[in-house]
Structure 1
Amino acid sequence: MSLRAGGPPRFAAGVDSETVSNNTVDVVLIGGGVMSATLGTLIKQVQPDWSIEIFESRSAVATESSNAWNNAGTGHAALCELNYMPEGADGSLSADKAISINEQFQLSRQWWSSLVKQGVLGEPSGFINATPHMTFVRGEANVDYLRRRYEILKQQPLFSDMEFSDDPAQIAEWTPLLVDRRSKDEVFAATRSLSGTDVDFGAITRRLIGHLVENGARLRLGTQVKKLRRREDGTWDVYARNRSGYGTGMVNARFVFVGAGGGALSLLQSSGIPEIRGFGGFPISGKFLKCDNPEIVKLHRAKVYGKAAVGAPPMSVPHLDTRIVNGKESLLFGPYAGFSPNFLKKGSWWDLPGSIRPHNLGPMLKVGLTEFSLEKYLLGEVLASREKQMGALREYMPTARTADWKMITAGQRVQVMKKDPKKGGVLQFGTEVITGAEGSIAGLLGASPGASTAVHAMLGVLQRCFPEQFESRWKGEFAAQVPALGTAGVNHDPVAAAATLAETGEVLGLTSALKPVAVEA
């Protein structure tokens, strides 16, 4: 099998998916997404002698949430996402969460830059491109909020390039589609950060896994892991079957990572670790309107996030995005939500009911009885007409024509439900890392910011599961590639923040000038 580290590997259906043998390996990664690819690469960098096997149920890697068309490709750095800086009941604002998310994304930028220098990730324009991150709001109250948010964030070194404007002419210069044919008496405002990015996490995944395979890792495509059982010696038996129907078996592993997206919950439940007790999942399918008309696409080069409607959940925040996939630019608007009991885009209708256990039934029922706004939102989304969907788009792009946009189905998101000592059960919007059995198993649940902070999350897995090796040997090796690791971050130091943005921007090709697009008369 020929794999080129600089470009997408040529994975064919059925490669290395023969009957699983009863051998022992050091690491099993379940799921061929960006989390497994990141963790496997980190491990290979510090333990090149460890054997690694990757199980992917589909015929190719990066087909679910990591796929470019199953997410919005936002390099989540809290530059434009208002849900990372919510307004308190008393009107107060705190930048703490926004800064934390941005710091985590800087770890990804630093690590990717190191891999580009090493020739592992190849040409960076194939997976990351400079794309301004903007926020756009309407109405006096929202404009006041956005101005106050800007005044706080612009004082922070990682957000120092942020601009604010309530001048229609200025906003039209930034991105004309927001302003063209908008009512002259409408009150609106926007912020812009040129340090934003568009990221193809599918390309990153394919390149990292291609590099792993070239360096001895074994990829088992078309092979679905069904259950996990722990032996008395602390190792794990990983039971899998060939999806083509002619092979089943088991492999023994010293460490298992479950990075199977929506499929992670059932596998962690099958492991029997007590840490998964009380956790449930609620699947939400995402949809986007997509435009490939080059005459329209060229007028908008930004990711523009708005504010969720009153009562709507955080994942419903509307955004009009530039997407760059395989060198071609498109526009996406959404997300629109739907409901399916599948935990994966190509999953089973049995996924949701099959995940219910006595230990998570209570928290799940509690969430169902309290999250009325989410249930109302989902019902409205499922029943929404095409015209209503286009109406939501026209709030951001008044000139949008129905003929230029088509609806695509993106990935499934499984929101975490878990026990809460006060509320009984809560719905968590974010990611949750589960580790157990003295660090011999770990898994990831949840959704955004997910892939953008994969490096932070997977370094955390290694630190929790291999504390002695991490502190004594690995941390120093990782710090050489990710200088911010183990520090207080770079935001507290204006010089350090400017340096990391400039250095990673240069390596990743993000420093070229972004010219505004003028509206044609």
Structure 2
Amino acid sequence: MSNRQTTTTDVILIGAGIMSATLGSLLKELVPDWKITVFEKLASAGEESSNEWNNAGTGHAALCELNYTVEKPDGSIDISKAIKINEDFQVSKQFWSYLVNRKRISNPEKFIMQLPHMSLVQGEKNVAFLKKRLEALSTVSLFDGMELSEDPEKLKEWIPLVMKDRTSTEPIAATKIDSGTDVNFGALTNKMFDHLKKKNVEIKYKQNVDDIKRTSNGTWELKVRNVDSGVVERHTAKFVFIGGGGGSLHLLQKSGIPEGKGIGGFPVSGLFMACNNPDVIEQHHAKVYGKAPVGAPPMSVPHLDTRLIDNKKALLFGPFAGFSPKFLKTGSMFDLITSVKPNNLTTMLAAGVKEMSLTKYLIEQVMLSKEKRMEILREFVPSAKSEEWDLVVAGQRVQVIKDTEGGGKGTLQFGTEVVTAADGSIAALLGASPGASTAVSVMIEILNKCFPQHIKDWEPKLKEMIPSYGLSLAENRELNQNIEASTSQTLGFTRKAHVKKGKVKTKKEKRVLQGV
């Protein structure tokens, strides 16, 4: 069935996840009179990559993720990526604080919680690396408050569950910083869409975008199908944002823009072990990241995470990589094969040859038994019992494959990629972590690329929403400290969270974990 009537709007957002919620929220503040329509194929917002069970929930600020600080051949530590990711997260926190202060969203404790971020390593070489990393990071105020200990007694205070029954005689060390966060991006996404609905943003659920094409007058026409009834509608807009997670690649290809050619995607699924024993969960209160095994991709850095989900404390370990040809958790088994086009075939084949070790790693991961996974978990939690941990399937991630100057043909990209048409009329977001945490910076990048004619007029409002807009927090200690104090107060953080023997000690965290 087809409804030939065409509906026209100013902006169409495809996908009701954190990215569309962020872009929609920014645009509604900047140009309140623009008409915005959102299409989502599922029944509610934030159910794919943004969902709290599909997302690690780490407020990615490079406080604990060792893969963002790389040791160079001369032994020095490159912290440039860590600074960029941290600054991007500070931008997100500033925008969330603005939304809370302006009563656009409420109860920030429902989506963000202060939580220590820790890096844990074993072995002399790794301990030496961790010390050098801290030395390099301590030169930048973004990382103020990070401390390191090699003392097993101190580590027992910080991470009692990790140190319990540990018999290894290898050197061990950890860094800890109390200003880290756990973010429930599913809850945040829903809060933002609840507000947008009140601002006359039309959000249409169970609507699948089947096709997208350029019209003769330069606008974009979308063919949108109702998932339940099969009724097809046509919708046109001057600007389209494709924020459909793994589903974005197919729609980018259908748009036909030259910038989308030659790009492929490689799907990687994630699995976590979730603890089902409340007594064990209560013994841990931090996000603890280790080093990825040799040969493992960066998205497989092991971590033991305290999470706040549905106002309850949860404990997850992972991720274990998996493989599925689907580009979305709710996608099709034909997603991968149908994404191979004549313009990206050689790129995809080159990646297949180059990434044989990754393919081997993924196959090995898929074949792991539960007991094998428990053995890996016991490297973090020696006392872990199989019956106290369940396997949880997390979200699908599609890593971008493209030809690059540095990496050559068919290079696998680990990160978030923005693809925009030359005229700025359409933009697509591809890739994975640190995605959600950097959503505001990524959407501002899209605003700059797609609406250059408006940016000068928008600048005062952007600076109001994001006080550090156009400035470097890393290079301005006083500005960084002032903004950190302001966002901490708005989002309900204590300046110094104190955690001992796995118990939550701050009043704020007690209230949050009791679901108040």
The bucket for the TM-score relative to the shorter chain is over 0.9
Written as runs of structure 1 = structure 2, the 5 A alignment for 1:210-221 is: 210-221=194-205
Which amino acid in structure 1 is aligned with residue 475 of structure 2? H
Written as runs of structure 1 = structure 2, the 5 A alignment for 1:57-206 is: 57-183=41-167, 185-206=169-190
Written as runs of structure 1 = structure 2, the 5 A alignment for 1:268-347 is: 268-347=252-331
Q: Does 1:391 align with 2:358?
A: no
Aligned match for 2:412, one of 415, 421, 427: 427
Which amino acid in structure 1 is aligned with residue 274 of structure 2? K
Deviation at residue 398 of structure 1 after TM alignment: 0.6
State the partner residue of 1:491. 474
Deviation at residue 186 of structure 1 after TM alignment: 2.6
Q: Give 3-state SS (helix, strand or coil) of 2:58's partner.
A: coil
Q: 1:161 to 1:395 in 2, by over 3 A?
A: same
Which amino acid in structure 1 is aligned with residue 497 of structure 2? L
Give me the whole-angstrom Cα distance separating, in 2, the residues matched to 1:20 and 1:379: 47
Which amino acid in structure 2 is aligned with residue 117 of structure 1? N
Q: Does 1:450 align with 2:411?
A: no
Which amino acid in structure 1 is aligned with residue 492 of structure 2? G
Q: Give 3-state SS (helix, strand or coil) of 1:68's partner.
A: coil
8 Å Cα contact 1:19/1:242 also seen in 2? no
Q: 1:271 to 1:302 in 2, by over 3 A?
A: same
Aligned match for 2:487, one of 486, 504, 509: 504
Q: Give 3-state SS (helix, strand or coil) of 2:469's partner.
A: coil
State the partner residue of 1:27. 11
Q: 1:359 to 1:506 in 2, by over 3 A?
A: same
Aligned match for 2:30, one of 35, 43, 46: 46
Which amino acid in structure 1 is aligned with residue 214 of structure 2? R
8 Å Cα contact 1:20/1:240 also seen in 2? no
Aligned match for 1:438, one of 423, 429, 441: 423
Give me the whole-angstrom Cα distance separating, in 1, the residues matched to 2:369 and 2:495: 41
Q: Give 3-state SS (helix, strand or coil) of 2:377's partner.
A: helix
Give me the whole-angstrom Cα distance separating, in 2, the residues matched to 1:227 and 1:158: 44
8 Å Cα contact 1:124/1:509 also seen in 2? yes
Give me the whole-angstrom Cα distance separating, in 1, the residues matched to 2:81 and 2:347: 26
Which amino acid in structure 2 is aligned with residue 398 of structure 1? P
8 Å Cα contact 1:313/1:373 also seen in 2? no
8 Å Cα contact 2:39/2:203 also seen in 1? yes
Partner deviation per Cα, 1:183-236 (whole Å, 9 max, x = no partner): 162311000011100001111111111111111010110000011110121100
Q: 1:250 to 1:99 in 2, by over 3 A?
A: same
Which amino acid in structure 2 is aligned with residue 210 of structure 1? D
Give me the whole-angstrom Cα distance separating, in 2, the residues matched to 1:283 and 1:253: 30
Q: Give 3-state SS (helix, strand or coil) of 1:23's partner.
A: strand
How many equivalent residue pairs?
Answer: 501
Q: Give 3-state SS (helix, strand or coil) of 1:219's partner.
A: strand
Q: Give 3-state SS (helix, strand or coil) of 2:499's partner.
A: coil
Give me the whole-angstrom Cα distance separating, in 1, the residues matched to 2:113 and 2:460: 30
Aligned match for 1:375, one of 359, 364, 369: 359
Give me the whole-angstrom Cα distance separating, in 2, the residues matched to 1:79 and 1:317: 14
Give me the whole-angstrom Cα distance separating, in 2, the residues matched to 1:128 and 1:168: 30
Of stretches 226-235 and 340-349 in structure 1, the one that deviates more from structure 2 is 226-235
Partner deviation per Cα, 1:102-123 (whole Å, 9 max, x = no partner): 0010000101001111111200
Deviation at residue 246 of structure 1 after TM alignment: 3.3
Partner deviation per Cα, 1:324-345 (whole Å, 9 max, x = no partner): 0121000010001111100000
Deviation at residue 320 of structure 1 after TM alignment: 0.2
Q: Does 1:468 align with 2:457?
A: no
Give me the whole-angstrom Cα distance separating, in 2, the residues matched to 1:45 and 1:518: 44
Which amino acid in structure 2 is aligned with residue 244 of structure 1? D
8 Å Cα contact 1:20/1:247 also seen in 2? no
TM-score by length of 1: 0.94
State the partner residue of 1:11. none
Give me the whole-angstrom Cα distance separating, in 2, the residues matched to 1:101 and 1:246: 42
Give me the whole-angstrom Cα distance separating, in 2, the residues matched to 1:187 and 1:418: 40
Deviation at residue 91 of structure 1 after TM alignment: 2.0
Q: 1:344 to 1:184 in 2, by over 3 A?
A: closer
Deviation at residue 503 of structure 1 after TM alignment: 1.0
Give me the whole-angstrom Cα distance separating, in 2, the residues matched to 1:373 and 1:467: 42
Partner deviation per Cα, 1:348-397 (whole Å, 9 max, x = no partner): 01110000001111111111101122112101101111111001111011
Q: Give 3-state SS (helix, strand or coil) of 1:22's partner.
A: strand
Q: Give 3-state SS (helix, strand or coil) of 1:510's partner.
A: coil
8 Å Cα contact 1:258/1:444 also seen in 2? yes
Q: Give 3-state SS (helix, strand or coil) of 2:340's partner.
A: coil
8 Å Cα contact 1:300/1:517 also seen in 2? no
Deviation at residue 512 of structure 1 after TM alignment: 5.8
8 Å Cα contact 2:76/2:132 also seen in 1? no
Give me the whole-angstrom Cα distance separating, in 1, the residues matched to 2:458 and 2:339: 36
Q: Does 1:245 align with 2:229?
A: yes
Give me the whole-angstrom Cα distance separating, in 2, the residues matched to 1:395 and 1:32: 38
Q: 1:61 to 1:287 in 2, by over 3 A?
A: same
Give me the whole-angstrom Cα distance separating, in 2, the residues matched to 1:354 and 1:235: 26
Q: Does 1:353 align with 2:328?
A: no
Give me the whole-angstrom Cα distance separating, in 2, the residues matched to 1:178 and 1:89: 32
Give me the whole-angstrom Cα distance separating, in 1, the residues matched to 2:251 and 2:377: 38
State the partner residue of 2:512. none
Which amino acid in structure 2 is aligned with residue 50 of structure 1? W
8 Å Cα contact 1:320/1:333 also seen in 2? yes
Give me the whole-angstrom Cα distance separating, in 1, the residues matched to 2:4 and 2:400: 31
Partner deviation per Cα, 1:380-431 (whole Å, 9 max, x = no partner): 1011111110011110111111111100101000000012346212000001
State the partner residue of 1:234. 218
Give me the whole-angstrom Cα distance separating, in 2, the residues matched to 1:519 and 1:323: 14
Deviation at residue 484 of structure 1 after TM alignment: 0.9
Give me the whole-angstrom Cα distance separating, in 2, the residues matched to 1:267 and 1:352: 13
Give me the whole-angstrom Cα distance separating, in 2, the residues matched to 1:30 and 1:292: 36
Q: 1:222 to 1:409 in 2, by over 3 A?
A: same
Q: Give 3-state SS (helix, strand or coil) of 2:349's partner.
A: helix
8 Å Cα contact 2:179/2:496 also seen in 1? no
